[in-house]
Amino acid sequence: MSNIAGRVREVFRGDPRVDADALIARLDAVRRFLTAVDGLLPDADLVPAHTLVERAGTRLALSRDHTVVALAGATGSGKSSLFNALAQLELSPVGVRRPTTGVTHACVWGPLEGANHLLDWIGVLPRHRFVRESALDADDETALHGLILLDLPDFDSVQRSHRLEVDRLLGLVDQVVWVVDPQKYADRVIHDSYLREFHRHREVTLVVLNQADRLPPAEVPRVLEDLRRLLDTDGLTGVPLLATTAIDPAGMVGLRNALERTVAERQAALRRLAGDVDTVVAGLDELVGSARPAGGPDDTSVNGLNRALAGAAGVPAVTEAVERAYRHRAGAATGWPVVRGWRRLRPDPLRRLHLPGPAGDQADPAESLVAATSVPDPTAAQRSALGLAIRAVADRAATDLPAAWPGAVTSAARSRLGDLPDALDRTIAGTDLGLDRRPLWWRLVGGVQWLVTLAAVVGLGWLVLGYALRALGLPALDNPMVGQVPLPTVLLLGGLLAGLLVAALTRPVVRLAARRARARADQRLTARVAQVGDEYVLTPVRTVLGSYAQARDALRDAARR
Ligand SMILES: Nc1nc2c(ncn2[C@@H]2O[C@H](COP(=O)(O)OP(=O)(O)O)[C@@H](O)[C@H]2O)c(=O)[nH]1
Ligand SMILES: [Mg+2]
């Protein structure tokens, strides 16, 4: 064991260790991100994240004592030769079958328990699994216990199915050993399509220049240098690069040591997944960006929305009716009693809108539930103004958000558009317009009007009686005089004049009070309509902004190594 530790120190590259709990926390953060953006962002953009979460969950649940290392490369680079040499299949009693191209073969060092579950998941058929029996080698192979080596099909195979199989496996294994040979090490395909893609997996990438024996010994360093330069361009600066010779055990020592170190560290699986998280986070970054999430829709656009809602809800029509209804009702209460009855016959302006009529004449409560006001439907102009105002709310709220979000915010703002007309109508019907109470001064003025009318009627009766008595030759009434004028005449004329005067004086007061009643109703209706806007437009927008903030925080947590 001390032997292994010594070798591990010797070849240790200084890659940071990945803490399993920290990795699990990062994966949880990716999961939180996915929950936050569910239904808001296009599913296609989220496929890599979903794949990662599922894959990582499974890999971590399977054996962490095993390290799955794949030999990947172009046809003829020597993958199978390296595989056989490491597995010593020629010597193994079960190793009579030589791996064939196109099928992935696996060799397991040490106990099979756990390895089989891993290989089931990776999809290597049992008949393509070999076991390195440690009993045969005494202690020689113990340093590789826990290694599962895969010989992948050629990634440049003419068969599409082989290439797909390679891509699938490269997504699952813990570490990849890229095998290149002196002829093809600079081929574009391996660099552009594969190595470059692994630049976030530097810690689990190893490159071997196989068939080094085919080069003149003096050439090897030059080729390695050239390959190193290419790897730097691929973003793989610092990955271990070794020369190997599969046909000579001495040419395998470096690779063997590297594999022993990988197995001893038990870090490859975690590092691979950490690299996957890095890749996924980098891919999602532009979906969330670094913009600070807006707190909510801004005041200007909300005011615009409230105005448009009030227009569409018919608030101006209702408040105008309130003013007229006030005058109507005040007139009926304070007018000259002779014409009051006639006024009452005229319909109340609010009742015409099916809104609560005069006190004691409330609309049927059941009626207000179905919200059947007769407030005129919004005009096309009002409807489009409302549409624009909702758009403006969404646009302003999404100003700083990355391109993927404004669409989601707009959809949220419009999500309940269909329910708005009914909600507004119900709200208008349910708003106390402030006309229920009959003001005291109406009753006072009304009382005065009755008194002066009574005086006029008494005066008239008195005069008529006096006239009748005189006509019948009966003794005349003794009319008290007020100055030069008889009292009945004073009563009649004074009563009539006082009635007209009170009516004339009351009219401007009623007009003023009607305007105030209108303003009051306007305030109440606007406030209630704003509540509807809040519930039906702003809340859904805020929910999306909240999701954005959650997604952003989650992605930050996921990015934290
Ligand atoms: N001289 C020499 N030949 C090798 C070496 N590795 C593989 N070969 C030969 O290269 C050919 C292709 O090897 P193979 O392992 O089948 O490559 P694969 O297609 O990557 O699996 C075979 O004829 C091997 O014998 C090596 O290190 N040195
Ligand atoms: Mg092969």
Tell me: pLDDT of 282 over 90: yes
214 CA: nearest ligand 1 atom: 1
CA-244 nearest atom, ligand 1: 27
Q: How far is the CA of 426 from the centre of ligand 2 (A)?
A: 75
Beta-sheet pairing, 481-482 with 485-486: antiparallel
> What's the gap in Å between 252 CA and the centre of ligand 1?
13
Nearest CA to ligand 1 atom 11: 76
Q: Ligand 2: distance of its center to the CA of 143 in Å?
A: 25
- Residue 49: name the closest of 37, 61, 64, 62 by CA: 37
Rounded CA separation 131/106 (Å): 8
- pLDDT digits 0-9 by tens, 165-194: 999 999 999 999 999 999 999 999 899 999
Please choose, from the candidates 32, 31, 23, 26, the residue with its C-alpha nearest in 3D space to the C-alpha of residue 549: 32
Q: Is the pLDDT of residue 359 over 60?
A: no
Report which ligand 1 atom has the smallest distance to the Cα of 154: 19
Output the CA 211–ligand 2 centroid distance in Å. 14
Instruction: Kindly identify the ligand whose nearest atom is closest to the C-alpha of 75.
Output: 1
> Which listed ligand is nearest to 248 at the C-alpha?
1
Residues 340, 342: Cα–Cα separation, whole Å:
5
**245-250 average pLDDT score:** 93
Q: Which pLDDT score, from 0 to 100, does residue 369 have?
A: 41
pLDDT at 22: 96
Contact 312, 378 (CB under 8 A): yes
CA 398 – ligand 2 centroid, Å? 54
The rounded Å distance from CA 81 to ligand 1 centre is 5
Q: How far is the CA of 76 from the centre of ligand 1 (A)?
A: 6
- Tens-place pLDDT, residues 376-387: 788 889 999 999
pLDDT per position as a tens digit, 481-538: 888 888 999 999 999 999 999 989 999 999 999 999 999 999 999 999 999 999 999 9
Average pLDDT for the chain: 88
DSSP character for 355?
Answer: S
**Does residue 347 register a pLDDT over 90?**
no
Distance 404 CA to ligand 2 centre (A): 44
Identify the residue with better confidence: 493 or 340.
493
221 close to 229: Cβ distance less than 8 angstroms: no
Please give the pLDDT value at position 362.
Answer: 45
Nearest ligand 1 atom to the CA of 84 is 15
What secondary structure letter does DSSP report for 192? I
Alpha carbon of 3 to ligand 1 centroid (Å)? 31
Residue 73's beta-bridge partner residues?
179
Query: Residue whose CA is closest, atom 14 of ligand 1?
Result: 78
Summarised one tens digit per residue, pLDDT across range 94-144 is 334 444 567 899 999 988 888 999 999 999 999 889 888 655 555 677 889
End-to-end CA distance of the chain: 31
Give the mutation target among 81, 157, 209 for probing the ligand 1 site: most ligand atoms within 8 A of CB: 81
Predicted confidence band of residue 35 (pLDDT cuts 50, 70, 90):
very high
**Residue located nearest, by CA, to atom 1 of ligand 1:** 211
- The torsion defined by the Cα of 479, 485, 489 and 492, in degrees rounded to 10, comes to -130
> Which tops the pLDDT comparison, 126 or 436?
126
With beta carbons less than 8 A apart as the criterion, state whether 165 and 59 touch: no
pLDDT higher for 480 or 136?
A: 480
Residue in 78, 86, 130, 85 with CA at minimum distance from that of residue 104? 130
- Ligand closest to CA 184: 1
Give me ligand 1 centre to Cα 201, in Å.
Answer: 27
| Distance in Å, CA 220 to ligand 2 centroid | 24
Give residue ranges with CB within 6 A of ligand 1. 73, 75-81, 154, 210-211, 213-214, 245-247
Percent of the chain whose pLDDT exceeds 70: 90
Residues 298 and 286: their CA atoms lie apart, in Å, by 24
Question: Which is the closest atom of ligand 1 to the Cα of 73?
Answer: 20
| pLDDT of the residue at 534 | 96
What is the position in ligand 1's atom list of the atom closest to the CA of 179?
20
The model's pLDDT over 80-89, given as tens digits with 9 standing for 90+, comes to: 999 999 988 6
- Maximum average pLDDT range among 97-111, 300-314, 322-336, 348-362: 300-314
Question: What pLDDT does residue 406 have?
Answer: 92
The residue among 520, 335, 317, 534 whose CA lies nearest residue 420 is 534
Torsion over CA of 434, 437, 439 and 442, rounded to 10 degrees?
110
Which amino acid residue places its CA nearest to atom 28 of ligand 1? 211
Query: And the tokens for 539?
Result: 């809340």
Atom of ligand 1 nearest to the CA of 248: 27
- Reference 503, options 459, 448, 458, 443; nearest CA is 448
Predicted confidence (pLDDT) at residue 265 exceeds the cutoff of 60:
yes
User: Beta-carbon neighbour count of residue 522 at 10 Å?
Assistant: 19
Element (H, E) at 410: helix 406-414
**pLDDT-above-90 percentage for the chain:** 68
What confidence score (pLDDT) does residue 135 get? 54
Please identify, by atom number, the ligand 1 atom nearest to the C-alpha of residue 83.
15
Nearest CA to ligand 1 atom 7: 78
Between 115 and 365, the higher pLDDT residue: 115
Compute φ and ψ for 151, nearest 5 degrees. Answer: -100, 105
Report the residue count for the chain: 561
Cα distance between residue 142 and residue 259, in whole Å: 12
DSSP output for 193-237: IIIGGGGGGGGGEEEEE--GGGS-TTHHHHHHHHHHHHHHHTT-T
Nearest CA to ligand 1 atom 13: 78
Q: How far apart are CA 48 and CA 284, in angstroms?
A: 9
Ligand number nearest to the C-alpha of 103 = 2
Ligand 1: which residue has its CA nearest to atom 3?
A: 211
Q: How confident is the model at residue 6 (pLDDT cuts 50, 70, 90)?
A: very low
What confidence score (pLDDT) does residue 293 get?
65
- Which of 385, 419, 386, 371 has its CA nearest to residue 535? 419
Which atom belonging to ligand 1 lies closest to the Cα atom of 81?
Answer: 15
Asked whether the predicted pLDDT for residue 209 surpasses 70, the reply is yes
Report whether pLDDT(294) > 70.
no
Instruction: Please enumerate in sequence order all residues whose Cβ is within 8 A of that of 72, keeping only pairs 6 or more positions apart, or say none.
Output: 79, 152, 155, 166, 170, 176, 177, 178, 179, 194
Q: Flag whether pLDDT at 91 surpasses 60.
A: no
pTM (2 d.p.): 0.80
